Amino acid sequence: MRISKDLGQIFLKNKKYLERIVSLLEIEGEDVLEIGAGRGELTQYLVSRVKSLICVEIDSRLVQILKEKFSSCSSLKIICGDILKLNLESLGKRLVVVGNIPFQISSPLLFYLVKYRKFIKKVFLTFQKEFAQKLVALPKSKNYSFLSCYIQYYAQVKILLTIPCKNFSPPPKVDSCLVKIDFFNNPPYKVKDEKFLFQLIKEAFSQRRKKLINALDKYKSDLIFLLEKLKIDKDIRVDVLSLEKYCQIANFLKQVSLNSDI
């Protein structure tokens, strides 16, 4: 079968790494959703360990292979479709999400998972290594970004395993990482307006090497006042400020906005 470049298809072929991945998954007796089941490389290890398994695969050719390969598995349901268009709530279960995904859907999939986090127990996905490093990055690191703040607001994130590119077919140009995303039941930070928080962070990181007060110039006077109050250097750069401080700034600026509207 010809590989679809448009769908970003890559298949993990190394049995040793497939077994290592399965050993790290917390799936025993769980209802599991596998994204991008492909030819069933990972699926074959999952079916005997889980309570139920839902495989989502966008390529109809691969769906046919999966149906033939796992025709005797009564606990397996195969959905032909785009994961980003699937309503997780409609499945009626809290799921553990796993999968070896195309790199090109990494960002939209992350936003999708956050949207449906109430219906997800945990997530175990392989991402491009650089993308994975952004998800776990802390202030002052070169990988610290909007994505770091975004996912860490909602979840605890950990890299579990690095998978060299040679273990995939066709081999990508970069290595991959298995990442665990564990959504908070009670997020450590609270903001009055999450949409405003992420708009603020995105705007700041669009000029990541600048001082915060210059990157967010329209809030400059209020920022200087707050930074002094928090005993933070007013010359602090965008990529040095922690998520906790961004939340404090967002709450403060939102309150200033509300007061000015009264």
pTM equals: 0.92
What is the pLDDT, as a whole number, of residue 258? 60
Using 50, 70 and 90 to split pLDDT, how confident is the model at 257? low
Instruction: Tell me the C-alpha to C-alpha distance, in Å, between residue 29 and each of 26, 91, 233, 250.
Output: 9, 17, 51, 41
What is the pLDDT, as a whole number, of residue 193? 95
Alpha helical stretches, state H, the chain: 15-24, 43-46, 60-69, 106-115, 129-136, 146-154, 194-205, 212-215, 220-229, 243-261
What is the pLDDT, as a whole number, of residue 261? 52
What is the pLDDT, as a whole number, of residue 20? 96
pLDDT digits 0-9 by tens, 190-229 = 899 999 999 999 999 999 889 999 999 999 999 999 999 9
Locate the domains of the chain by residue range.
11-183, 194-261
For residues 18 and 42, give the distance between their C-alpha atoms in angstroms, rounded to a whole number: 6
What is the pLDDT, as a whole number, of residue 99? 95
Give me the CATH code for the 194-261 domain, please.
1.10.8.100
pLDDT digits 0-9 by tens, 37-93 = 989 999 999 998 999 999 999 999 999 999 999 998 989 999 999 999 999 999 989
Using 50, 70 and 90 to split pLDDT, how confident is the model at 5? low
Q: Could you tell me whether strands 168-169 and 11-12 are parallel, antiparallel, or unpaired per DSSP bridges?
A: antiparallel
Please determine, looking at this structure, whether the domain spanning 11-183 carries the CATH number 3.40.50.150.
yes
pLDDT digits 0-9 by tens, 114-155 = 999 999 999 999 999 999 999 999 999 999 999 999 999 999
